[in-house]
């Protein structure tokens, strides 16, 4: 078993993890206006044939995540396609699409704080992608504990590029946000990503 093989029932049976739905972010989360560069990159993306997950990842998802990385270069590192090998005996291993880690400048993955999973269009709220990103969050917790890093809660997000759905692992509960965020409300989306970074560290932003 690996992250991609998990079902929601596996999380309960193997780890005692329960799932619920709630509002994760209130209206007090500040908006974060995008840079001119990000606006231009996303405008160019709309002129491209975004017909594959790879194309969407490169043209839409990565530029948004890089924006947050640049704003917090002394706080976090952004990893892409990294293997998160937490505990093979429990199936907590496999490749992760993107990870924000509390490890600025590091070339080696340490202290994951947010997992980003690329789901297919229209599938971000389906059981399979939610189970996969939930398993990655459990893997992140085990990985952090092995490296003497206690980081709670941990956040994840399923995204199709245009739609983003956030999750939180707190205690033995996976909380799925009851609201999805869309790329046409980019300042809100960026504000939430920045809020998650702020929860785990001192940010360069107020």
User: Looking up tokens 């975004």, which residue turns up?
Assistant: 50
Rg of the chain in Å (alpha carbons): 16
Mean pLDDT by 10 residues, the chain (206 residues): 89 94 92 97 87 86 96 94 93 94 89 91 86 96 92 94 96 96 95 93 45
Q: Write down the pLDDT at residue 203.
A: 39
Model pLDDT, residue 205 = 40
pLDDT of amino acid 206: 36
pLDDT of 163 = 95
Distances (CA, A) of 29 to 155, 192, 194: 16, 7, 9
What per-residue confidence (pLDDT) applies to 65? 97
Q: Could you tell me the two tokens for 68?
A: 């947050």
57 contact partners, CB below 8 Å, separation of at least 6: 97, 118, 161
Q: Under 8 Å CB-to-CB from 145, ≥6 apart: which residues?
A: none
Which pTM value belongs to this model? 0.92
How confident is the model at residue 145, as a pLDDT? 93
The H-or-E segment that residue 15 falls in is helix 8-15
- Gap between the Cα atoms of 203 and 206, Å rounded: 7
Cα–Cα distance, 89 to 80 (Å, whole number): 24
């Amino acid at each position: 078993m690996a992250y991609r093989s998990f079902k929601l029932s596996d999380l309960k049976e193997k780890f005692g993890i329960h799932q619920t739905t709630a509002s994760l972010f209130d209206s007090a989360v500040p908006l974060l206006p995008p840079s001119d560069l990000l606006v231009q990159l996303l405008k160019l993306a709309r002129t491209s044939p975004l017909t594959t997950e790879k194309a969407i990842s490169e043209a839409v998802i990565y530029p948004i995540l890089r924006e947050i990385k640049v704003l917090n270069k002394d706080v976090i590192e952004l990893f892409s396609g990294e293997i998160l090998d937490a505990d093979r005996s429990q199936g907590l291993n496999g490749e992760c699409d993107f990870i924000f880690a509390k490890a600025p400048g590091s070339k080696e993955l340490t202290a994951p704080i947010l997992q980003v999973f690329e789901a297919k269009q229209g599938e971000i709220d389906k059981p399979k992608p939610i189970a996969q990103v939930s398993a990655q969050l459990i893997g992140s917790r085990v990985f952090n504990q092995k490296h003497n890093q206690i980081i709670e809660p941990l956040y994840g997000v399923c995204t199709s590029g245009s739609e983003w759905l956030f999750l939180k692992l707190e205690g033995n509960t996976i909380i799925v946000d009851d609201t999805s965020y869309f790329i046409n409300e980019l300042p809100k989306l960026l504000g939430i990503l920045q809020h998650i970074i702020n929860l785990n560290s001192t940010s360069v932003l107020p």
